[in-house]
Amino acid sequence: MSKTMKAMVYHGANDIRFEERPRPEILQPTDAVIRLTKTTICGTDLGIWKGKNPEIQDTAVAKTGLFDGRILGHEGIGIVEEVGSAVKNFKKGDKVIISCVSRCGTCENCQKQLYAHCQNEGGWIMGYMIDGTHAEYVRTPFADTSLYLLPEGLNEEVAVFLSDVLPTSHEIGVQYGNVKPGDTIAIVGTGPIGMGCLLTAQFYSPAQIIAVDMDDNRLAMAKELGATHTINSAKEDAVQRILEITGGRGVDCAMEAVGVEATWDICQNVVKEGGHIANVGVHGKSVNFELNKLWIKNLTITTGLVNTNTTGMLLKTCCSGKLPLEKLATHHFKFSEFEKAYDVFKHASDENAMKVMINYE
């Protein structure tokens, strides 16, 4: 069998290449190597491509003195090709959902369920600090606690949202945002993450869900998926509109699902006293934090990387058919068309794309 494979490799800001790389091998007894059958591109991958995360290169250079590229991607489904000697729950041939976060389960942070910050070779490292899923094969550390057996009958176009999008939206948006029955919430950014927030927020029956974006197609989909109000912030003053909708009071929870100052600014200006701002977006630059106005409001402001501690629960919800995520899978590409898939996702608004699926077989 060939020792190399094709992969999408990040070499630095605005420089990704579809090129030949060595096939991953088992490095630790707890590892598995997965042959991908489906993957997707995340807004975070786009952010990395655009240069939001220079720490990828900086960390590699600090550790080894050089950076020879990083395979992107942290979402996907595949077939177990090989497992390390300590892997108990999976075997060659199993079809699995790959979680974007791996966990050792024993370090101080894992014992606090803060798996995002596993102190061993875990946390969110795939497609970031180690090679990821935008390839024919990927090595997943701590396979026993980082893979989920794909249930028979579950639509794979739904299952792939369990790698990252759904747990992130639910944990970092909705749970950290403390969404409760009767709440009024604002979701700023209706990409896949914002849509995941919109769908999982409805587990908790908020009374009003205001979706904000600059893309009318995405806002139309948000309406279809349960938003009670939509605001195009490129055409209207989002803060003013949210205050009008809420009778001047503001929202109980504002979720930031973009990662830029303009959307953080909307959130900090619309949350009412006692409310929550749940920041989900990955920010590449600092923002203006109006503590001079906010200190008095008894707010809770949360940030975070997904822990994936609700993935199992979300998997069951997906199996029940209650989350129509397949609607988000707007574009499909073959593995050989990976560069085209990135290009379409980069121009998502013009292409009317929400989530691009890459199928291998």
Ligand X SMILES: NC(=O)c1ccc[n+]([C@@H]2O[C@H](COP(=O)([O-])OP(=O)(O)OC[C@H]3O[C@@H](n4cnc5c(N)ncnc54)[C@H](O)[C@@H]3O)[C@@H](O)[C@H]2O)c1
Question: Applying CB under 5 A, which residues contact Zn ion?
Answer: 42, 44, 104, 107, 110, 118, 120, 122, 164
Contact by Cβ (8 Å): 36, 74: no
**Within 139-178, which residues bind ligand X (CB under 6 A)?**
164, 168, 172
Q: Which two tokens stand for residue 14?
A: 């605005």
Rule CB under 6 A: is residue 189 a binding residue for ligand X? yes
Q: Which two tokens stand for residue 244?
A: 């009008």
Q: Residue 346: count other Cβ atoms within 10 Å of its Cβ.
A: 14
Rule CB under 6 A: is residue 246 a binding residue for ligand X? no
Q: What Cα–Cα distance (Å) separates residue 173 from each residue in 4, 9, 170, 198, 230?
A: 39, 30, 6, 9, 18
Q: Which stretch binds ligand X (CB under 6 A): 29-37, 89-97, 125-133, 255-263?
A: 255-263
Q: How far is the CB of 258 from ligand X (least distance, A)?
A: 4
Contact by Cβ (8 Å): 267, 186: yes
Answer for which of 192, 206, 250, 275 binds ligand X (CB under 6 A) is 192
Q: How far is the CB of 118 from Zn ion (least distance, A)?
A: 3
Q: Which stretch binds ligand X (CB under 6 A): 17-25, 78-86, 191-199, 327-335?
A: 191-199
Residues 6+ apart with CB under 8 A from 8: 16, 17, 18, 71, 72, 73, 134, 135, 338, 339, 342
Answer for which of 123, 194, 250, 275 binds ligand X (CB under 6 A) is 194
Q: Which stretch binds ligand X (CB under 6 A): 3-11, 32-40, 65-73, 184-192?
A: 184-192
Residue 260, Ramachandran bin (φ over 0: left; ψ between -120 and 50: alpha; else beta): beta
- Report the C-alpha gap between 321 and 225 in whole angstroms: 14
- Report the C-alpha gap between 361 and 354 in whole angstroms: 22
Q: Which stretch binds ligand X (CB under 6 A): 16-24, 86-94, 135-143, 209-217?
A: 209-217
Q: Which two tokens stand for residue 246?
A: 């809420």
The interface mask with ligand X, positions 45-64, x = CB under 6 A, is -xx-----------------
Q: Which does residue 110 bind out of Zn ion, ligand X, none, counting CB within 5 to 8 angstroms by kind?
A: Zn ion
Q: Which residues bind ligand X (CB under 6 A)?
A: 42-44, 46-47, 164, 168, 172, 189-194, 212-215, 218, 233, 257-260, 262-263, 280-282, 304-306, 348-349
